[in-house]
Structure 1
């Protein structure tokens, strides 16, 4: 009988301790949960609600129109053009940013002197805000007094000048060049961290076996950077799908609609044309698109990590 009472008391004490720890855990996460609810969950639910309205963003009256915003969106040539530009930007930026970042990381990792200096120089563009960087490159690409145009004039190649930001055929390319220049340094740091995690004994053993630099990179370095590549490619893709600052400063979506992306058209429609309901519906579609692309990307890259 005494043993049963002892066991019951110990069990009750254990349950009481678990309840106490549970209460402490709830109190610990409650402030963060409240803030997350106010600034993330509630705005998201409110945005879903507004996507079914014709609200202009100013008036107090909100009229529900059902799925009309989504129907209009999927029949709009402007939206399809923005989707095309978004896909072109996304593929181009993911490939170019990661290729340039990987090359910079390999170069910096092999430098013996002033490694920190080179790392800082290549990373510096990342520290610039998108607005400042956009203004700088707008001056560089200017047709009349830009750096590129002046260099061509002084070399007697004035006929080769290109109106980078005024020609629909080159405006998107100018955005890509600018973004690659700004973002590559960030992904270089990720690849550098991956390179420093590769055991030097592997390369030393390969050198003894007669492997050259390309063979060591192909069969040792590149496969072991799979984890760093997963992170870099995913972040690069998400950043490309959300690109806004460069377009706002350099082209304002133009000339015409040549550089208008899904993110930028949401801004133009919602705030420029005072169609918040329609713009919010677009943002919901953009959110779903980013979510689907991210999940597919993570699955494919994780599969590659396992295979390697």
Structure 2
């Protein structure tokens, strides 16, 4: 009997192993087409960009000339690149702070509304649905010095002397881009914070209110700490989005006036396609990738620690 049972066990194991191999084969067949496409359009271009960053290729000529680390040396010594880096950092800090603060305020407002909650949620989320190009055109008209909504409103109320050339003045152009990006992005992060708020037990607020805590004390000691997970996600997404912002700049200022609104993402486009320096532009894109990677890792480390402490 023992021999018969052992033979049956071996036979059963062999059948199970055969089924696993069959399922594995089918899984590979299903994954293979997607993997081939992903390799062709993502992995290979990414690896080839490393190769092109060491060349002086213009993007058109079939001849590729290798120049070593000259592109990276030029990046380090370029005032234009350092100015773009400064603009990128200013915009990133401003967008992370403003988008998250406004998103939290909007989420708390919508969460407290009893009537037409879905309506207010849709209104605040609507700018997210707009194309970046369309939204850029709309705000370019709003900020226009001659016939923009802001200028016309100031003229009608007799304050025409306070008009500002938002997109033509280097001191205000970057601010206009930031306002536009915040208007478009805050609604997206509002949804994430709203989900976090709805996950906070109402009993905690009721107990705090019974103990005499006011609204600010409840927010500081209950709501804000329990939103740590949502804040980690939103800060990460807003920082990455700010580092690679492109649409608004392309439509509203084209990097100008001068280089006042040129960021690292936009300078990669201008150099690579406008000046036909694909090798140099690819090298800059690698630098931008490393910057985003480093900032993201630092953010994850800091924000995860904050979640643990809270």
Q: Under a length normalisation based on structure 2, what TM-score does the superposition of the two structures give?
A: 0.96
Q: Residue 4 and residue 114 in structure 1: after superposition, are their counterparts in 2 closer, same or farther (change >3 A)?
A: closer
How does 1:188-227 map onto structure 2 within 5 Å? 188-227=190-229
Residue in 2 aligned with 1:29? 31
- Structure-2 residue corresponding to 1:121: 123
Q: Is residue 251 of structure 1 aligned with residue 253 of structure 2?
A: yes
- State the shift of 1:9 in Å: 3.1
Matches within 5 A, 1:43-54: 43-54=45-56
Deviation at 1:145, TM superposition (A): 1.4
- Determine the structure 2 residue equivalent to 1:71: 73
Aligned length: 308
What corresponds to 2:160 in structure 1? 158
- My pick for the range that moved more, 71-80 or 141-150, is 141-150
Structure-1 separation of matches of 2:308 and 2:32: 38
Question: Which shows bigger deviation, 8-17 or 227-236?
Answer: 8-17
Structure 1 gaps of 5+ residues are none
Structure 1 position 216, deviation (Å) = 1.0
Separation of aligned partners in 1, 2:190 and 2:307: 19
Q: How far 1:7 sits from its partner (Å)?
A: 4.2
- Which runs of structure 1 show a deviation greater than 6 angstroms over 4 or more consecutive aligned residues? none
Please give the per-residue CA displacement for 1:16-70, whole angstroms capped at 9, x wherever unaligned.
2332232222223222211211111011011111111111111111111111111
CA shift, 1:139, in A, is 1.0
| Deviation at residue 14 of structure 1 after TM alignment | 3.4
2:298 aligned residue: 296
Residue of structure 2 aligned with 1:98, choices 82, 89, 100? 100
* Corresponding residue of 2:237: 235
Q: Distance in 1 between matches of 2:6 and 2:134?
A: 74
Give the superposition deviation at 1:210.
1.5
Within 5 A, what are the aligned runs for 1:74-89?
A: 74-89=76-91
With normalisation by structure 1, the TM-score equals 0.97
Distance 1:200 1:168 in 2: 48
In structure 2, the gaps of 5 or more residues are none
Matches of 1:7 and 1:37 in 2, distance apart? 42
Q: Could you tell me how far apart the structure 2 residues matched to 1:229 and 1:176 are? A: 20
2: CA distance, partners of 1:251 / 1:6: 76
Identify which range, 26-35 or 157-166, moves more after superposition.
26-35
1:205 CA displacement? 1.3
